[in-house]
């Protein structure tokens, strides 16, 4: 296939473009880094290294803590993919879990998981949704046809004064005009 030949629009090309569009709408790389950071943090405290007939166990006293940190990082990575609105929370939580993993889990999975979680958490906090192109409408925008009806009064957020109301609006009970004369009727 030469450079001048247009690519065939097959099933693979369509799926790849759909995945690319899905990936562009969320902090994909941040979620991938956070997800991958949980694997060495959870694995290394339970790993056994075989050197000939010698078995080197890396078990620590905080094995359960390492497993919990690793699982939480994997869950945060997946949540960054599918719940993009929790990106700041998930990013800060990933950074905090990475810092906690240093003393708990063999220097954060021998610094591999620690560094992946720090970079992924920072990327999640820094990610912001991009603006849509001018010619492309938002997927959730309602045009009034086939979806929810379009609003009829676009100035509902502006508070307008009510005409003809000259009464005082003091409901504290201290104004004699409202009949309370300073007494509160609490019971």
Mean pLDDT score, 80-93:
93
Cα distances from 184 to residues 167, 169, 178, 180, in angstroms, run: 20, 16, 12, 7
pLDDT at 35: 96
**Size of the chain in residues:** 187
Residue 4 pLDDT > 80, yes or no? no
How far apart (Å, rounded) are the C-alpha atoms in residues 55 and 106?
Answer: 18
Residue 150 pLDDT > 80, yes or no? no
pLDDT at 157: 59
Mean pLDDT score, 9-29:
88
């Amino acid at each position: 296939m030469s450079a001048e030949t247009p690519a065939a629009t097959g099933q693979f090309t369509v799926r790849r473009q759909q995945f690319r569009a899905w990936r562009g709408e969320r902090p994909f790389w941040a979620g991938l880094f956070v997800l991958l950071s949980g694997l060495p943090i959870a694995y290394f405290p339970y790993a056994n290294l075989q050197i000939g007939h010698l078995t080197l166990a890396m078990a620590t006293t905080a094995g359960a803590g390492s497993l919990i940190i690793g699982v939480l990082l994997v869950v945060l990575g997946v949540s960054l993919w599918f719940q993009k609105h929790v990106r700041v929370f998930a990013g800060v939580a990933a950074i905090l879990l990475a810092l906690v993993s240093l003393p708990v889990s063999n220097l954060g999975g021998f610094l591999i998981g620690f560094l992946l979680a720090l970079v992924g958490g920072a990327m999640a906090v820094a990610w912001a949704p991009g603006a849509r192109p001018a010619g492309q409408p938002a997927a959730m925008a309602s045009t009034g046809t086939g979806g929810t009806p379009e609003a009829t009064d676009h100035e509902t957020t502006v508070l307008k004064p009510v005409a003809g109301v000259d009464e005082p609006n003091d409901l504290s009970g201290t104004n004699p005009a409202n009949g309370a004369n300073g007494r509160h009727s609490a019971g």
